[in-house]
Amino acid sequence: MTARVYRPFAFLALTLTWTWACWWGLVLTGLQPWSGTGRWLLYLGGVGPLVAGLWFQHRHSAGRGLADLWQRLVQPGRAPHWLWAVTLLLIPALSLLAQSLLMLGGGAGPTLALPGATWPAALGYAAFLFLLGPLPEEIGWRGYGLDALLERYDPVVASIILGAAWGAWHLPLFAMDGYYNDFGGAPALLPFLWSILMKSLIMTWAYLYSARSLLLMVTFHFMINATGEVLPRPSEVEAVFQGLLTAVALVAAMHLRSKWHTARR
């Protein structure tokens, strides 16, 4: 099969259409997202990036592209050890730093929330978090979408476009009655969308410095979700965290621009 051109905006359109059809349908029908038919609509919508990513990857380069995607998903050695350390520690470290800065001003210290009453329950919840978001999402967002955007745009612009779509993808969840009940309540919308843009920049930086490791991206995404569950951030902590995250993202953006201009010479 002859390789075809990347189609980033067709991928994003299909992803949003698939997910929004399920999730806005769930909102409009008033079904509960964590029980009965609502649960299956929730899960079906969540695989939108996976379905679209695999479809467009197959159309782009058939078995060769899918094999490359699989290798990027199962080869930890693509990323250097220092980058694995960044992936595992960055978001928890920024959360703890935000808490510590507020403690210096007399604020309360960090709280640790272990989901489940026992370690097996906590591990089961971690597996649920992994399968609910990071794995199916990243096969689409970074497995196909980022590569497709990088064919047309520099890494910063590609990150912003992908981050905007990634944020928009979540919008029905904010209108879904009961979805955030099990996650400590819905986050504030605008800070949430801003944080996704910043995380998109950081993840693109890590992606390009790891030989396009999809496993690294899945792990990074998991650490974002897991940190929010284990180290919950009250609103005042979240504001400081957002500032720290933005600073890191700006440094990542400068590195991305530098790397891109160097590669074009």
- What pLDDT shows up at residue 2? 46
Does a structural domain hold residue 31?
Answer: yes
Q: How far is CA 87 from CA 32, 79, 218, 229, 263, in A?
A: 34, 10, 10, 17, 24
Tens-digit pLDDT profile for residues 153-169:
999 999 999 999 999 99
pTM of the model: 0.93
- What pLDDT shows up at residue 262? 65
> Residue 105 pLDDT more than 90?
no
The dihedral built from the CA positions of residue 78, 82, 83 and 89, taken in this order, carries a sign that is positive
Q: Looking at the 3D structure of the chain, how many domains does it have?
A: 1
CB 46 within 8 A of CB 133: yes
Tens-digit pLDDT profile for residues 58-88:
999 888 999 999 999 999 999 999 999 999 9
Does a structural domain hold residue 1?
Answer: no
Residues in the chain: 265
Residue 90 is which amino acid? L
Nearest to 171 by CA among 149, 196, 152, 147: 196
Does a structural domain hold residue 3?
Answer: no
Does a structural domain hold residue 78?
Answer: yes
- What pLDDT shows up at residue 1? 39
H/E element, 140: helix 134-140
CA distance 239 to 31: 33
pLDDT band at 186 (very low <50, low <70, confident <90, very high): confident
Residue 139 belongs to domain spanning: 8-264
Does a structural domain hold residue 223?
Answer: yes
